[in-house]
A and B are shown apart, each in its own frame.
Chain A
């Protein structure tokens, strides 16, 4: 049982607030005295893992952060890259895991609200949200509840504020049963010259707080919820979950963009975790100035709030800006227009101290560097466990027996259908239909229409008429099970999969944002997972020449049942000159008497059943290593793919992921056109790579094995011929053609029967599996 869930009032206050004795001693040393209650509360937040990254800072430093398109890197509210035509895309992914485990609707909703504020805090109009979600098995009533409510919360916030949710992922795995993952990514669009940084500047300038009023909601969220493990009795933590109001935020977006468009602000910062404390001290730190703050001037929604409560409240939908005296009236008039609370709560000073006043009395006085920069940074003590620490994955619930029977036969049809109906592969329609994916008139590829979401950007001229801009591709991807098997190679696989999705629509990756969801880093095996994972991300980003523009670390994701699977999540934004040559991810019949589309497999794909979906359904143990890979070849394959898509030579492209090649091919038939496939060339590649192994094993692995670097492509015979010439070094295999109403897959050897399925049947099973499984589970449990 952890101490954080039930603060023991008998212990010293600093421990109850999550500070170690050594950290408290250091605070006393920096101040030259013991901190008072307000100061202690502020230090405990600023020195929490959530705000200080004290356990992750050292290893994050090795990630590449330079690139030709980079405009803003780590350290600002969001990263930004240039996408052409004088336009910038600001983007970032952030977690709201623990709040969502406690109260999924508001936890997920405020996660979206928070990441959107990060985006418009840099002066960009939010134009899209994506999400990456992980829950326990769908057969668990708790997980179904958390998934439905978190999705409803994301939809509630995004839909109501008029920002489309254009893509994402949702997975169901046992290790997330008690500690779900809710990661949200947001993108914003701005003219390059309108991006704004958050450094406070100009001694004598006013500090204006505007937006919602301040209450007692979310007090201590950063330290209590985000920086400690979950345990029993978490219902008591519900008051530390904030409540979101998308209506307030939609006014706040318009107000901020109007203020920035009129060039009325010196700097802008959102209030997120640790509220006013974090927002003000980070502005002061970046600007190398001091701030005087008068808490009695803050508009409150509750009576009798103590100064420390006002400083640490995490009430949502609030922003802080610095304004020169001559522009103050104009700023307040814009706030009035949008019916937002506002107050001049302080001034910029040259003291480099944060001074907190209440009714004229000084109630807190801290050097800014002590608060922001002097938190001790810890070196992780990684230690590789001698054996796999996670139990074998297991499918449970009312459908488990039928699933087990299907995957344990030699009938390839039954296996493929079982995979297509499994929780992690079946259609996500139940979830993504809860999101408005089109508001903003930029979405040209909706969920399930292509491997990445595609947005066609436009801007308004002075008369409000739209001017065509460039397009972008966006994808968010994560992995847990494979990273648990091999944190280094598993993480490389995550980055490669996300980059492959971008390449499938013809996008050039411009920047990457990440969210590292891990367990307690003070434990050596978790420290090892984190260290190896970051190394993998570093090496993959270097190979792809892709800068990390910022992100978020979410640690302490564990419960009494143990840690979650280590789960790095990455989001990539890609540039795209022409949205009309985007490849779709489904086969289609060509006109009239034209020869059918030919199908090939591009890339150095060498699948393995280790840690695959099939292995999970069978109940195989998790391995402790995934196969080695040649990163340079993978990067080259993605460049070749991107160029072929841009030329229009590759008209269909789908990354082989969960469920392997057979599943990817089946998903390509969801548009209604079948395919005739022979996997002999892949089996031959496997035979050469692993000459000693059983040939039948190669067939099974070729059909259902997983791994990075496999792209199913389709195009005309001539264009695939050209592609195969270009791809000599990275691998290209001709597999068959797209026609008819059946998917047939033949293999050269083995007892596995040939796959032969009606495409209508594939569509029905893939499309309805989640709904039917949820309905079945609800019936069984009622």
Chain B
């Protein structure tokens, strides 16, 4: 049984179809409408990049109040797998599903650049197909990607092994604390990252290193709590 991926689509989403195509390489993916609370029994939710609700109020601030994200929060609480990419990462921090926050880049400008990431922890459903210390080449593109957390939370997530991906030396253009590119929650079933693995799934378009994260999810999903019929 192929792993089923659901991708919430908000007005203003940009990378939802790219994410759909990437997830379809490793499983079956479909879009979920923001006004519906029904997750259609998917195993994994991927909150995509873009400018949901026009980034009005503050990036990622409005989606947590949408019907679909209420359902995603329940899915996460039940142990279901949730990945947030770029705006999806911002949404998950605003929803309280991930620690920390994303602040404007140090250069205060949208920046699109291929970056090298170092895999810090492979003992998770998101990274188990990677090798520890491996470098992934994945593009990043955002205005608000500087990871921040207060010192005590930063200490916690570092000592808990929740930092899964770090920018390699010289690649942290947004000024993230501790070069953090992606963090998961303490339960390791919710993960957010600023770079876009869905744009690194084909050598023809630059790199296929991002595919490793999708393969990890596809093979981990059947083991995760709350997947399939249990939701």
Which residues of A are interface residues toward B (Cβ below 8 A)? 152, 155-156, 159-162, 245-248, 250-251, 338-339, 433-444, 446, 456, 458, 464-466, 579-580
What B residues does A161 contact at CB under 8 A? 14
Find the B residue at minimum CB distance from A439: B14
Which of A247, A434, A438, A579 touches B11 (beta carbons < 8 Å)? A247
Report yes or no: B14 in contact with A443, Cβ–Cβ below 8 A.
no
Per-residue contact bits, chain B 195-231, to A (CB 8 Å; 1 contact, 0 not): 0101100101110000000000000000000000000
Given contacts A159-B141, A441-B205, A466-B24, contact A251 B11 (CB under 8 A): yes
> How distant is A464 from chain B, measured CB to nearest CB, in Å?
7
Report yes or no: A438 in contact with B24, Cβ–Cβ below 8 A.
no
Which of B14, B29, B139, B196 touches A162 (beta carbons < 8 Å)? B14
Report yes or no: B199 in contact with A466, Cβ–Cβ below 8 A.
no
Report yes or no: A580 in contact with B204, Cβ–Cβ below 8 A.
yes
Report yes or no: A438 in contact with B206, Cβ–Cβ below 8 A.
yes
B149 at the interface (CB under 8 A from A): no
B148 at the interface (CB under 8 A from A): no
What B residues does A155 contact at CB under 8 A? 110
Given contacts A441-B21, A466-B21, A580-B204, contact A436 B109 (CB under 8 A): no
Report yes or no: A443 in contact with B205, Cβ–Cβ below 8 A.
yes
B120 at the interface (CB under 8 A from A): no
Instruction: Give the one of A250, A251, A435, A442 with max B CB within 10 A.
Output: A250
Which of B50-58, B73-81, B91-99, B161-169 participates in binding chain A? B50-58
Which residues of B are interface residues toward A (Cβ below 8 A)? 11-15, 17-18, 20-22, 24, 29-30, 50-51, 53-56, 109-113, 139, 141, 196, 198-199, 202, 204-206
Which of B24, B53, B113, B196 touches A247 (beta carbons < 8 Å)? B53
CA distance A441 to B18 in the complex (A): 6
What A residues does B11 contact at CB under 8 A? 247, 250-251, 338-339
- Give me 21 A-to-B residue pairs in the complex whose CB atoms sit less than 8 angstroms apart, sorted by A's number: A152-B110, A159-B51, A159-B110, A160-B55, A162-B13, A162-B14, A246-B54, A247-B11, A247-B51, A251-B11, A433-B111, A433-B112, A433-B113, A434-B112, A435-B112, A436-B110, A437-B112, A439-B15, A439-B141, A440-B18, A441-B18
What A residues does B14 contact at CB under 8 A? 159-162, 250, 436, 439
What B residues does A247 contact at CB under 8 A? 11-12, 51, 53-56
CA distance A437 to B11 in the complex (A): 21
What B residues does A435 contact at CB under 8 A? 110, 112
CA distance A245 to B56 in the complex (A): 11
Report yes or no: A464 in contact with B24, Cβ–Cβ below 8 A.
yes
> How distant is A248 from chain B, measured CB to nearest CB, in Å?
8
Report yes or no: B56 in contact with A444, Cβ–Cβ below 8 A.
no
> How distant is B139 from chain A, measured CB to nearest CB, in Å?
6
What A residues does B206 contact at CB under 8 A? 438, 446
> How distant is A18 from chain B, measured CB to nearest CB, in Å?
35
Report yes or no: B205 in contact with A434, Cβ–Cβ below 8 A.
no
CA distance A150 to B111 in the complex (A): 15
CA distance A446 to B53 in the complex (A): 28
CA distance A246 to B113 in the complex (A): 22
> How distant is B208 from chain A, measured CB to nearest CB, in Å?
12
CA distance A250 to B51 in the complex (A): 10
What A residues does B111 contact at CB under 8 A? 433-434
CA distance A438 to B13 in the complex (A): 15
Instruction: Give the one of A437, A440, A441, A580 with max B CB within 10 A.
Output: A441
Given contacts A441-B18, A464-B24, contact A436 B205 (CB under 8 A): no
CA distance A433 to B113 in the complex (A): 7
Which of B18, B56, B109 touches A439 (beta carbons < 8 Å)? B18
CA distance A246 to B12 in the complex (A): 8
What A residues does B198 contact at CB under 8 A? 441
What B residues does A458 contact at CB under 8 A? 21
What B residues does A251 contact at CB under 8 A? 11-12
Q: Which 4 pairs, one residue from A and one from B, show the smallest C-beta to C-beta distance? A: A247-B54, A162-B14, A441-B18, A160-B51
Report yes or no: A245 in contact with B54, Cβ–Cβ below 8 A.
yes
What B residues does A162 contact at CB under 8 A? 13-15, 50
Report yes or no: B110 in contact with A438, Cβ–Cβ below 8 A.
no
Find the B residue at minimum CB distance from A471: B204
Which of A152, A156, A339, A438 touches B139 (beta carbons < 8 Å)? A438
Report yes or no: A464 in contact with B30, Cβ–Cβ below 8 A.
yes
CA distance A438 to B112 in the complex (A): 9
Report yes or no: A456 in contact with B204, Cβ–Cβ below 8 A.
yes
CA distance A91 to B9 in the complex (A): 27
CA distance A155 to B22 in the complex (A): 25
What A residues does B204 contact at CB under 8 A? 444, 456, 579-580
CA distance A580 to B141 in the complex (A): 25
Which of A160, A439, A456 touches B54 (beta carbons < 8 Å)? A160
Report yes or no: A436 in contact with B141, Cβ–Cβ below 8 A.
yes
Q: A160-B51, A441-B205, A446-B206 are in contact. List 7 more A-B contacts (CB 8 A).
A: A159-B110, A247-B51, A247-B53, A251-B11, A339-B11, A433-B111, A437-B112
Instruction: Give the one of A156, A436, A444, A458 with max B CB within 10 A.
Output: A436
Find the A residue at minimum CB distance from B201: A441
Report yes or no: A438 in contact with B109, Cβ–Cβ below 8 A.
no
What B residues does A438 contact at CB under 8 A? 112, 139, 141, 196, 199, 205-206
CA distance A433 to B143 in the complex (A): 11
Report yes or no: B109 in contact with A152, Cβ–Cβ below 8 A.
yes
Which of B22, B29, B56, B112 touches A436 (beta carbons < 8 Å)? B112
Given contacts A435-B112, A436-B110, A439-B15, contact A456 B205 (CB under 8 A): yes
Which of A444, A456, A465 touches B24 (beta carbons < 8 Å)? A465
> How distant is B35 from chain A, measured CB to nearest CB, in Å?
9
Report yes or no: A250 in contact with B12, Cβ–Cβ below 8 A.
yes
Find the A residue at minimum CB distance from B139: A438
Find the A residue at minimum CB distance from B20: A464
> How distant is A334 from chain B, measured CB to nearest CB, in Å?
13
> How distant is A539 from chain B, measured CB to nearest CB, in Å?
37
CA distance A703 to B206 in the complex (A): 34
CA distance A245 to B205 in the complex (A): 30
CA distance A464 to B6 in the complex (A): 13
What A residues does B54 contact at CB under 8 A? 160, 245-248
CA distance A463 to B55 in the complex (A): 30
CA distance A68 to B199 in the complex (A): 35
CA distance A433 to B54 in the complex (A): 21
> How distant is A95 from chain B, measured CB to nearest CB, in Å?
24
